[in-house]
Amino acid sequence: MIEEKLSQEDLWLYEVIRHPALCGEFLRNLDAHPKDEEWVYAPYQNEIICDFDYYVSICCARTVGKTVALTDILIWILINRVFWGDYIVYTVPNKVHLDPVWDNLVRMFRSNSLLMNYLQRGKGINSSDHNIKLLNNMSLDCRIAGTAGSGASVVGMHTPFEIVDEAGFYPWGTWIELQPTLNTWQKGFRRIVSGVPTGLRENNVLYFSDQIDKEFSLHRVSAHRNPRYSDDDEERNLVRYGGEDSEDYIHHVLGHHGTATFSVFDRSLMLIKQYPVFKIKLNGLDIDDISDYYLHLTALPAIEAKYDYIMMGVDLGYTEPTAIHVMYAKDGHMYWHARIQLTKVSYPIQKQLINFIDDKFGRFDIIGVDAGGPGKPVVQDLLEAEEFLHKDYDKRLIPVEFASNMVLGIDSEGEEIKTKLRPFSVSLAQEYSNSHKLVYSSTDMEFVTELERMTYTKTPKGDVVYKTLTLRGGAKGEDHHTAALLCMLVAHYTLRDQTIYKPNTKRLAGVSWGSV
């Protein structure tokens, strides 16, 4: 049989593709425009890509190019048939983490002039299961851990190669389930864990692989080693994160774990039952007429349970959404009935909507509304405007200003005992959760996950600072629904729980509000 001899060029190409780092650089430069800058890996990216240890940990600053390096490792394994006949796995906590990576992978396999040869035309990519199957019988499975945190998304998997990206947010329960999925008997098996520190230590996948488990080969990179990180970036970050000593700067720019941060809520301590919670999201930009809002809200079913009383918690916003919780109390437990989110709805309309919801459910016994920000007039109007006077909001609605102090009682000298409202409200929520007074719903793990993102750190002065982590590492996390719950609890405390001490303020039944 006569076979065509490989040309020298073919052999060069073969050597390039065989090499984990050269391969990625080659693929990324292959279709580039001659005027484009040549793609080269930063030295630390080469180190990551060429680390063949069984367990590799990458604990770095933001945007240093971790995910790019990991994506290229996946592609290299796939096209070189490193684990022939097996699937390899890329897993992340949430859909928001997978989307950009998935889009990038799909784009590369569809349009890169070398990679496109590995796919059967129009086949091989399944975007609903996030699975890519190549003609060479290699496949990639992307798995989202999801909010349930149970491990269901990875159970039953068997693979010689897996990457856990955004490990700072990876649910611990899923990580535990992930342990037996790695085929450690297979030659060259590997698990890579990568992410940006969050400050959390306990049951945190990234902290565990970087600091506790000694088996991992460690890569630690600060933003300052990123060749694309400019002086302007540094300046911006210093302003954005609040200086060199801020925890955000320490995590996002230095890539260090910083001061120990703790989770405030732990789902394993919560009582979670299966019952429906109705969720409505309305956007002011899609709706012109107030009657359309009413139409949507009318669709909310009535509360079926025989409740003792009903509560509403409201966190007001405009660009940042408004969160409204409709809850009921029954036999000493509190349940959610509905969570409503309003985005970009003007305050005058919001006022009417709150009133409408109040009418719809037959007047809430307890209403807590955040009155700290620009939503203040909403609260004032509900309490004082002529049109609402007949609704007696002053007997039911408590304005909540988190920056204020709350008076808990009077000491022996006759001085008021004050506490800062925010930490107080969080401790209320913690206590109500841990004592199972609050009953969370397994159909609404989205909210449980938001609660779990709330963390606290103690400053050197001993002050407790609460912060909600963002999934994507931004400066401030979304915690509007947490705030709505806190408002409800403060109102509940004021109107129901606080039986011992009642200062004689008129309107704010039971609370006096001072500024700090």
Ligand X SMILES: Nc1ncnc2c1ncn2[C@@H]1O[C@H](COP(=O)(O)OP(=O)(O)O)[C@@H](O)[C@H]1O
Is residue 67 a contact residue for Mg ion (CB under 5 A)?
A: yes
CB atoms within 10 A of CB 176: 14
Give the tokens for residue 6. Answer: 């490989």
Query: Taking CB under 6 A as the criterion, which residues in 342-401 touch ligand X?
Result: none
Pairing of strands 464-468, 454-458: antiparallel
* Residue closer to ligand X (CB basis): 120 or 230: 230
* Residue closer to ligand X (CB basis): 231 or 386: 231
Query: Taking CB under 6 A as the criterion, which residues in 155-194 touch ligand X?
Result: none
CB atoms within 10 A of CB 224: 13
Is residue 45 a contact residue for Mg ion (CB under 5 A)?
A: no
Binder among 20, 21, 23, 41 for ligand X (CB under 6 A)? 41
Size, binding site for ligand X by CB under 6 A? 11
**What DSSP designation does 495 have?**
I
CB of 342 to ligand X, least distance (A): 32
Q: What is the CA 198 to chain-centroid distance, rounded?
A: 12
Binder among 39, 172, 262, 466 for ligand X (CB under 6 A)? 39
- CA dist 482 and 314 (Å) reads 10
Cβ contacts of residue 412 below 8 Å, gap of 6+? none
* Residue closer to ligand X (CB basis): 252 or 267: 252
CB of 191 to Mg ion, least distance (A): 17
* Residue closer to ligand X (CB basis): 168 or 258: 168
* Residue closer to ligand X (CB basis): 68 or 429: 68
Return the one option of ligand X, Mg ion, none that residue 42 interacts with (CB less than 5 to 8 A, by type). ligand X
Question: Phi and psi of 408, rounded to 5°?
Answer: -95, -25
* Residue closer to Mg ion (CB basis): 92 or 490: 92
* Residue closer to ligand X (CB basis): 63 or 217: 63
Q: Which stretch binds Mg ion (CB under 5 A): 66-74, 315-323, 329-337, 490-498?
A: 66-74
Binder among 42, 148, 176, 300 for ligand X (CB under 6 A)? 42
Secondary structure element (H or E) that encloses residue 283, with its range: strand 278-283
Query: Taking CB under 6 A as the criterion, which residues in 55-114 touch ligand X?
Result: 62-68
* Helices 95-111 + 66-79 axis angle, to 10: 50
Cβ(421)–Cβ(407) under 8 Å? no
CB of 92 to Mg ion, least distance (A): 9
- CA dist 479 and 399 (Å) reads 18
Give the tokens for residue 493. Answer: 């405390």
Return the one option of Mg ion, ligand X, none that residue 102 interacts with (CB less than 5 to 8 A, by type). none
Return the one option of ligand X, Mg ion, none that residue 80 interacts with (CB less than 5 to 8 A, by type). none
Cβ-closest position to ligand X:
65
CA dihedral (69, 70, 73, 79) in degrees, to 10, reads -110
CB of 224 to ligand X, least distance (A): 14
Query: Taking CB under 6 A as the criterion, which residues in 233-262 touch ligand X?
Result: none
CB of 273 to ligand X, least distance (A): 38
* Residue closer to ligand X (CB basis): 97 or 339: 97
User: Residue 324: which of 307, 343, 306, 304 has the closest Cα?
Assistant: 343
Size, binding site for Mg ion by CB under 5 A? 2
Q: Side by side, which strands form the sheet with 464-468?
A: 262-263, 454-458, 464-468
Residue 225, SS3 per DSSP? helix
* Residue closer to ligand X (CB basis): 64 or 426: 64
Return the one option of Mg ion, ligand X, none that residue 63 interacts with (CB less than 5 to 8 A, by type). ligand X
- CA dist 178 and 64 (Å) reads 26
DSSP result, 98-149: HHHHHHHHHHHHHH-TTGGGGS-TT-SEETTTTEEE-TTS-EEEEEE--TT-
* Residues found near ligand X in the complex (CB under 6 A): 39, 41-42, 45, 62-68
Where along the sequence are the contacts to Mg ion (CB under 5 A)? Answer: 66-67
